[in-house]
Structure 1
């Protein structure tokens, strides 16, 4: 298992990780000393060169660059477990919800106890489809603090059973339940009588979704996904704000399975102003010029791809500035107007 395989395993076990890449020697030179390591907390080497404020940001998910006293470039990336959405119920709202949620970066699991509703053909955008009773599904799933859960079953009894199981597990980032105000009020009152924690009950998003007047399944799904994004980016009731790197977990999976493959890896390591992707975004470039992932597209990405192809097999690295503030950006009609620094490296497995 390479370093990225180890990273994904740690994230699956709900453990935050920090990856350090240390690059010394001349940029683009074969004299470069390339070292990459993975850590479960901010390593001492990084503490020595970062201010305390930066270390605090790193714990929240920041990524960036710094230099030690010897001039070694240190690229630090922090990773949180990926956003996993558990959808309980495979009915008409689940169809667009699963598709939209997967397209904004959630890994989606769908569960229903009816074979006609719980199958991979019906849900091609789901990572996993489970056909079983909701009780057994929730007992079998390892629910983590990073998970999001949406309850859209076909009836009051199933909703109630789902909530009972969920409230016995550790609190997740989000729990939302569909239903009328009267029905929801009755369910929550019953759970309160049964002794479930008042605070956790008050944090259940119900009626589910943002209030946008949604009527159709697609509109309701958009309102739910918008609420999920709000929880991801803004936290709950302003208590915290998630500042995760712009990591693409599909790219990480490809890197985890890349033993012996020739490729270059491009990572956004610094940004200023309005840019299409944030720090931590990665793109794989193959010798043919084909790519996986993106750092924002457009003519700027095309230049990076050419440079990345030329670096494959050389054991070199290069730092490239992408300036989207000038006349070229304006002529291309780019909506962004910032500057990105990217690390282009020969992928050494």
Structure 2
């Protein structure tokens, strides 16, 4: 069981969809009732871990069937905790308490300028795992970003060579120019992430969007998911006020139960 929970912990750094499933009830003359309370962990790549060897031995034989394995793997689409009844075969039925394994939300801030610094400071109070990416060493340092979890000094296009998006990612694009905004947004616009926001005037935003449409064949539907101009409308003017507006929008998206 100890190793099982260690494996769950490891999944907090994974971009895979993962669920835990606790055996809460069963109707069977073949499965030992003492297994009630045992657990499975299922990821979208087909990996299944069991909390004990006995659990694996008694349950695994049923889910080796292709149709049953597909049903078990589909459980990774669960968004909230729920009870689920599964008919292993006509003589064996189990009830599982399904719960998704969710990592802490990751905030990726592209650009280390005057808005990024107060934004990181505010966001660090909201349990975000924060990474700031910029290509300028003179701006990207822990004196400017003491609350950041990670600082990555690379050209933006190089950063994306090893990038893997997570569903719980929040992306904030506050680079120093629309060319860099374009470089970042074109890499992220089709990723399955929670939030993408980009700063800029209407003119600057239109220039980036036009380039994405013409050069990268990005659709208006894809562009509509970008929060731009970024931040809730609170008549913000200073970098600190703009950072507050962005943080407020992050909270709004994060707590939106219909999203």
TM-score (norm 1): 0.53
Find the counterpart in structure 1 of residue 41 from structure 2: 38
In 1, Cα distance between equivalents of 2:167 and 2:97: 28
Conserved 8 A contact 2:19-2:101: yes
Match of 1:109 among 125, 128, 131: 131
Q: CA deviation at 1:63?
A: 6.6
Conserved 8 A contact 1:19-1:77: yes
Deviations along 1:61-89, one digit per CA (max 9) or x if unpaired, are: 2279xxxxxxxxx9764322331111000
- Partner-residue secondary structure (3-state), 1:234: coil
Find the counterpart in structure 2 of residue 2 from structure 1: 3
Conserved 8 A contact 1:10-1:17: no
Find the counterpart in structure 1 of residue 251 from structure 2: 229
Q: What is the aligned residue count?
A: 214
The 5 A counterparts of 1:64-103 are 77-103=99-125
Structure 1: state its 5+ residue gaps. 23-32, 45-55, 65-73, 236-240, 243-349
- Partner-residue secondary structure (3-state), 1:18: strand
Question: Structure 1 residues 75 and 15, CA, compared in 2 at 3 Å: closer, same or farther?
Answer: closer
Find the counterpart in structure 2 of residue 198 from structure 1: 220
Conserved 8 A contact 1:111-1:129: yes
Match of 2:172 among 144, 150, 161: 150
In 1, Cα distance between equivalents of 2:81 and 2:97: 11
In 1, Cα distance between equivalents of 2:99 and 2:184: 36
Find the counterpart in structure 2 of residue 181 from structure 1: 202
Conserved 8 A contact 2:22-2:37: no
- Partner-residue secondary structure (3-state), 1:7: helix
Conserved 8 A contact 1:19-1:38: yes
Deviations along 1:92-143, one digit per CA (max 9) or x if unpaired, are: 1111111222211211110010112112342222121100111111222212
* Greater share of helix: 2
RMSD (Å), alpha carbons:
3.5
The 5 A counterparts of 1:1-349 are 2-11=3-12, 12-18=14-20, 20=22, 35-40=38-43, 59-62=78-81, 77-167=99-189, 169-194=190-215, 195-234=217-256, 241=258
In 1, Cα distance between equivalents of 2:37 and 2:79: 26
Structure 2: state its 5+ residue gaps. 25-35, 51-58, 60-74, 84-95
Conserved 8 A contact 1:91-1:153: yes
Question: Structure 1 residues 37 and 110, CA, compared in 2 at 3 Å: closer, same or farther?
Answer: same
In 2, Cα distance between equivalents of 1:121 and 1:36: 45
Q: CA deviation at 1:21?
A: 7.9
TM-score (norm 2): 0.70
